[in-house]
Amino acid sequence: MVIQDLLNPNELHIKKGIHRMFLITGSMQKDAIRALKTADHDLALDVSQRDDEVDRLCLLISKQFRSILCGGRMPDSSETSIDEYHDFRMAAGPIERIADHSQRIANVASKIQEPVRKDVMEVIENLSSTYMGLVEQAVDALYNSDTSLANQVIDSIDGMRLRVTELHASILKLESHKTMISLGTIVDSLSRIGDLGSNIAEIAINSAIKDK
């Protein structure tokens, strides 16, 4: 994926920038889990390198917002208010940190030597897919000022804590101590991705309330 508009922050519309960040992050997470499942170390390395693209976009959005606060031009002022700029800038942080966790998972996948037990891998895949689906809903709630959806996301993520605890318990039963530590790191990152999805949903709620 080619990242454009990196030289001039005034050329990037913030909503498009956030959407682009999310798309890259989503692909990173999907491929990080696939790299873990298939022991594809090249794919894991590719995921890790993609994190730089998300970091650059996050930095660009921060520069753009600082420029606007100092009197700079808003590139999409007809579509976005200064309050919306602030809220979308706030959402860039959690998305960037989700990408960091995807990179962390990919780094573990690049070093793990033994195949992940099938039943454990299935739960990891399911957790990852569910969490990223909820993150996507949180982003949608932000774009559409949908407080109902945002609250549903928060409730759904809270309801997944038992599944995470059960997965941790399954991992502790594995024979390999090294695999236990590696998979524990991955599950911790998945749980943090869920927390960050809740953060985005909370930003969406606050943004929608301000719009009323």
Global pTM reads: 0.91
The half-sphere exposure of 197 on its side-chain side, counting CA atoms within 13 A, is 32
6 Cβ contact list (under 8 Å, min separation 6): 56, 60
pLDDT tens string for the chain (212 positions)? 444 444 455 567 889 999 999 999 999 999 999 999 999 999 999 999 999 999 999 999 988 878 777 766 666 555 667 788 889 999 999 999 999 999 999 999 999 988 899 999 999 999 999 999 999 999 999 999 999 999 999 999 999 999 999 999 999 998 889 999 999 999 999 999 999 999 999 999 999 997 66
CB 120 within 8 A of CB 36: no
Nearest to 98 by CA among 28, 156, 201, 148: 28
Q: Quick one: pLDDT at residue 114?
A: 85
52 Cβ contact list (under 8 Å, min separation 6): none
Return d(Cα 111, Cα 187) in angstroms, integer.
16
Return d(Cα 152, Cα 4) in angstroms, integer.
34
77 Cβ contact list (under 8 Å, min separation 6): none
CB 191 within 8 A of CB 134: no
Q: Which domains does the chain have, with CATH numbers?
A: 9-211 (1.20.58.220)
DSSP-derived letter for residue 7 is: S
Q: Quick one: pLDDT at residue 157?
A: 98
Q: What is the 3-state secondary structure (H, E, C) of 105-171?
A: HHHHHHHCCCCCCHHHHHHHHHHHHHHHHHHHHHHHHHHHCCHHHHHHHHHHHHCCHHHHHHHHHHH
Return d(Cα 13, Cα 25) in angstroms, integer.
18
Q: Quick one: pLDDT at residue 109?
A: 97
Q: Which residue has the tokens 């236990």?
A: 180
Return d(Cα 181, Cα 4) in angstroms, integer.
39
Q: Quick one: pLDDT at residue 204?
A: 97
Q: Quick one: pLDDT at residue 11?
A: 64
